[in-house]
Amino acid sequence: MSRRSLYTAATERMNMFTALNSAMRIAMETDPTAAIFGEDVAFGGVFRCTVDLREKFGEDRVFNSPLCEQGIAGFAIGYASIGRTAIAEIQFADYIFPAFDQIVNEAAKFRYRSGNDWDCGKLTFRAPYGAVGHGALYHSQSPEAYFAHTPGLKVVIPRNPVQAKGLLLASIRDPNPVVFFEPKSLYRASVADVPVGDYTVPLGQAEIVRPGTDVTIVGWGAQMRVLEETCDMAEEAGVSCELIDLQTILPWDVDTIEQSVRKTGRLIVSHEAPKTGGFAGEIASTIQERCFLSLEAPIQRVCGYDTPFSLAHEKFYLPDALKNFEAIKKVVNY
Amino acid sequence: MALRLVRSVTRSRFTCAAKYMSTTVGSGEFPGGQTIPFVNKIVVVDPKENDVIPAYRVLDQQGKLVPGAQVPEGLDEELVVDLYKHMVRLNQMDNVFYDAQRQGRISFYMTAFGEEGTVFGSAAAIKPRDMVFAQYREAGVLMWRGFTLDQFANQLFSNCDDLGKGRQMPVHYGSKELNYQTVASPLATQIPQAVGAAYGFKLAKEDRISICYFGEGAASEGDFHAALNFASTRDCPVLFFARNNGFAISTPVKDQFRGDGIASRGAGYGIPVIRVDGNDMFAVYEVTKKARELVLTGGRPVLIEAMSYRQGHHSTSDDSTRYREVSEIKFWKDTNCPINRMKLFMMDKGWWSEERDVALKDAERSNVLQALTNAEAKGYPDAHTMFDDVYHEKPKHILEQEKEMLEHIAKYPDHYASTGH
């Protein structure tokens, strides 16, 4: 569906979990080999993302797995290896690490190591990620940078229900294994008019959410809401920000960021995950290589601190709008 | 045979219940429809008191049929001789390429000495459409399916004709055409994958199974547990095939587990098990055939444990005499070699002779040497192919890196010429 027809299509008020549900419903209807599985998905999932899908598509295609993430991942890879579509859920991104070996050593390298004789491209891992107000160490993590270091994977994070549906359908249909992180704080909080039909949002493309001239700000997922707020604060202060949603972490859209920074001369990258080894480092380094002569100020990374995610200290930990606003002042006044 | 075993396992559970009958004080229903008897005395169930699961055998160590046994149905003279020829071919391939590694002509090799009966017996009992998930010591299964000596050699030399495009270490074979998923080094990862594929066959209502091979060491990995539990709860048509050869590199089985091998674990997952003498190709064939039937008719997994002995070193990077006696290896080679057992049986039947044996070994050695010569003469895949197949398509950043590398090697051609590209 083209962008134009996307905006003229019939829409329905949906939040993020209903938009994801809508995407999976379409994926299951349009692909009889597709199956959804994971812990507690049969009754609708602990975040309601798979509600009613078992009733519609049967218990063979929507089913609970035993409580074992490496099993879910290995099972999904095998299912996809014979050309069938696997939509596997990891209940929280914090619990994806037991499946790290299967995802990094197996899924990501499946095509390469066999000389393209075998692949598990019809595979998507969905996992809720990010801060939620009270998730502490193991219900708050943003592990995208671990996976961004793995050739062979795609890593995708949506910011709102419209993007979530289109990006999830694109991920499920992409001929490569995709890790799809869903900002769980937005499951209910983010509401929009979402096209009811079948559409995809292309992977590997960033989106300029708000054009501007003075500073480029890059983020993804739930952080986009925070950055919108930051841009409003900047606007009041007379600074025009260009806000970009990266959407796909790997492979990421260097060109869109590069073009923007050539224009603005200033870059801020912001994510919830800890600063050291976070994906902002990759973006900052690449843009520094490509836009050295255009940069008017050092690139700023506004990230989580290099600590585990503390329950009582969440408000202090998060790279909130005010911390980002401070970074804007810094690059503008440099 | 398998059915009999399954029944006997069931029976022993009832016997067990009867043992506590005098102390039973009613029973209770628990979630999942389980009825558990209550007792008024503490019952400690100690697996050490259970009987050892027996291993099925057809041929004895002298190649004679054991009392009551017959040549398995479906194995006529032609097929038996063909299987034997393949065992010899694999054995010669292992000899030649082991030496080739010692001479530095290939970087690595792993032999299957002592496990030829296990691989060919099972390979012949499944169907070509069945999907094989191997660990790395099951090249014989691929050989039985028609992988040629040239194809093996191309992989070992990482040359331009290798199906895997020269990217993986030697012995990491695979073939989509032959339904043999490409081998990867991380142990046991293929076990839950085999389950997922089997589940796909089930949903597609295809008359095929997954067969998944792994060693007794790999069975200690978490993925083994994941796989058996998933296979059982989703009723997947998968045949788990454990090769228990006594060692995981230097680690003897007493450091690997303390239960009754791998077979005893099946019960805990609700999976029927069969143990077999892995040095007896007839027994392995029959057990695998039966298990395959059980998997398809029962719509559930079966676990086979083949008892064998790793006669060779773990790999060319290992000297196994540092952790086991030479006399022990010699004992197994002399008294319990699967190839020799088949040979004795065939000679006894008048199907084989010493003359034919010597001629076969010479011929196969020549064939392997020819494949080695062919493969060694071929060049490596082009350097730029390193960037292919990371993804289905080639993303921009990888295209840029490919260009960067090509420009670099064009600038310093002499430095990179020695790599043979």
Residues 6+ apart with CB under 8 A from A157: A129, A144, A180, A181, A182, A183, A220, A221, A246, A247, A249
| R_g (Cα) of chain A, nearest Å | 20
* A33/A106 same-domain check: yes
Count of CB atoms situated within 10 Å of the CB of B323: 13
User: What is the predicted pLDDT for the residue at B49?
Assistant: 83
CATH 3.40.50.970 corresponds to the domain B77-377: yes
Contact A181, A156 (CB under 8 A): yes
CATH code assigned at A225: 3.40.50.920
Give the phi and the psi of residue B238 in degrees, each rounded to 5.
Answer: -130, 140
* A305/A216 same-domain check: yes
* A145/A257 same-domain check: no
Residues of B in contact with A254 (CB under 8 A): 396-397
Residues of B in contact with A86 (CB under 8 A): 196
Q: Please, how many CA atoms are within 13 Å of residue B252, restricted to the half-sphere of its CB?
A: 6
pTM: 0.95
Q: Which of A40, A77, A82, A106 best tests the B interface by mutation, with the highest count of B CBs <10 A?
A: A82
pLDDT, tens digit, 9 for 90 and up, residues B330-342: 999 999 999 999 9
* A278/A161 same-domain check: no
Count of CB atoms situated within 10 Å of the CB of A131: 23
pLDDT, tens digit, 9 for 90 and up, residues A20-73: 999 999 999 999 999 999 999 999 999 999 999 999 999 999 999 999 999 999
Question: Would you call A70 and B164 a contact, using CB atoms and an 8 Å cutoff?
Answer: no
Question: Would you call A111 and B234 a contact, using CB atoms and an 8 Å cutoff?
Answer: no
If DSSP codes are grouped into helix, strand and coil, which group holds residue B93? helix
- B205/A contact by beta carbon, under 8 A: no
Could you tell me what percent of chain A has a pLDDT over 90? 97
* A212/A191 same-domain check: no
Question: Who among A33, A35, A71 is closest to B192 (CB)?
Answer: A71
* A34/A163 same-domain check: yes
Q: How far is the C-alpha of B47 from the C-alpha of B326, rounded, in Å?
A: 33
Which residue range forms the structural domain that includes residue A242? 207-333
Residues of B in contact with A203 (CB under 8 A): none
Question: Would you call B203 and A117 a contact, using CB atoms and an 8 Å cutoff?
Answer: no
Residues 6+ apart with CB under 8 A from B397: A251, A254
Question: Who among A61, A78, A111 is closest to B192 (CB)?
Answer: A78
CATH code assigned at A135: 3.40.50.970
Q: How far is the C-alpha of A129 from the C-alpha of A126, rounded, in Å?
A: 10
- Write down which residue in A140, A160, A195 finishes a domain: A195
For residue B167, the distance in angstroms to the closest alpha carbon of chain A comes to: 6
Contact A167, A111 (CB under 8 A): no
Q: How far is the C-alpha of A273 from the C-alpha of A260, rounded, in Å?
A: 24
Residues of B in contact with A115 (CB under 8 A): 162-165, 167, 389
Domain map of chain B by residue range? 77-377, 383-415
Does a structural domain hold residue A315?
yes
Structural domains of chain A, count: 2
Residues of B in contact with A151 (CB under 8 A): 390, 398
Q: Which of B175, B199, B240, B382 best tests the A interface by mutation, with the highest count of A CBs <10 A?
A: B199
User: What is the predicted pLDDT for the residue at B20?
Assistant: 67
Nearest to B347 by CA among B90, B120, B117, B63: B63
Does a structural domain hold residue A152?
yes
- B273/A contact by beta carbon, under 8 A: no
User: What is the predicted pLDDT for the residue at B221?
Assistant: 97
**β-bridge mates for residue B24, sequence order:** B39
For residue B165, the distance in angstroms to the closest alpha carbon of chain A comes to: 5
Question: Would you call B182 and A75 a contact, using CB atoms and an 8 Å cutoff?
Answer: no
DSSP string, B31-82: TTTEEEEEESS-----GGGSPPPPEE-SB-TTSPBPTT--PPTT--HHHHHH
* A37/A181 same-domain check: yes
* A108/A227 same-domain check: no
Extract the residue ranges of chain B whose pLDDT is less than 70: 1-21, 418-421
- B181/A contact by beta carbon, under 8 A: yes
Give the chain A residue nearest B228 (alpha carbons). Answer: A71
Residues of A in contact with B196 (CB under 8 A): 74-81, 86
Q: Give the pLDDT of chain A (334 residues) as one tens digit per residue.
A: 455 566 668 999 999 999 999 999 999 999 999 999 999 999 999 999 999 999 999 999 999 999 999 999 999 999 999 999 999 999 999 999 999 999 999 999 999 999 999 999 999 999 999 999 999 999 999 999 999 999 999 999 999 999 999 999 999 999 999 999 999 999 999 999 999 999 999 999 999 999 999 999 999 999 999 999 999 999 999 999 999 999 999 999 999 999 999 999 999 999 999 999 999 999 999 999 999 999 999 999 999 999 999 999 999 999 999 999 999 999 999 9
Does a structural domain hold residue A2?
no
- Write down which residue in A171, A195, A219 finishes a domain: A195
Give the tokens for residue B211.
């067969």
Question: Who among A105, A114, A154 is closest to B189 (CB)?
Answer: A105
Give the chain A residue nearest B186 (alpha carbons). Answer: A105
Question: Who among A71, A174, A204 is closest to B227 (CB)?
Answer: A71
Give the tokens for residue A287.
């843009």
User: What is the predicted pLDDT for the residue at A41?
Assistant: 98
Q: How far is the C-alpha of A184 from the C-alpha of A92, rounded, in Å?
A: 9
Residue A251 is which amino acid?
Answer: P
pLDDT, tens digit, 9 for 90 and up, residues B138-183: 999 999 999 999 999 999 999 999 999 999 999 999 999 999 999 9
Task: Outline where B270-377 has alpha helix (H).
Answer: 281-298, 326-335, 338-349, 354-377
Question: Would you call A74 and B186 a contact, using CB atoms and an 8 Å cutoff?
Answer: no
* A29/A172 same-domain check: yes
Question: Would you call A78 and B133 a contact, using CB atoms and an 8 Å cutoff?
Answer: yes
* A133/A229 same-domain check: no
DSSP B175: B
Residue A56 is which amino acid?
Answer: K
- B120/A contact by beta carbon, under 8 A: no
Question: Would you call B229 and A82 a contact, using CB atoms and an 8 Å cutoff?
Answer: no
* A178/A246 same-domain check: no
Handedness of CA B382, B386, B391, B397 (dihedral sign): negative
Whether residue B54 has a cis bond before it, omega within 30° of 0: no
Residues of A in contact with B203 (CB under 8 A): 33, 35, 60-61, 84
CA B260 to chain centre: 20
User: What is the predicted pLDDT for the residue at B22?
Assistant: 72
Residues 6+ apart with CB under 8 A from B241: B122, B211, B212, B213, B214, B288, B304, B306
Any idea which residues of A carry the catalytic annotation? 69, 139
* A301/A213 same-domain check: yes
If DSSP codes are grouped into helix, strand and coil, which group holds residue B26? strand
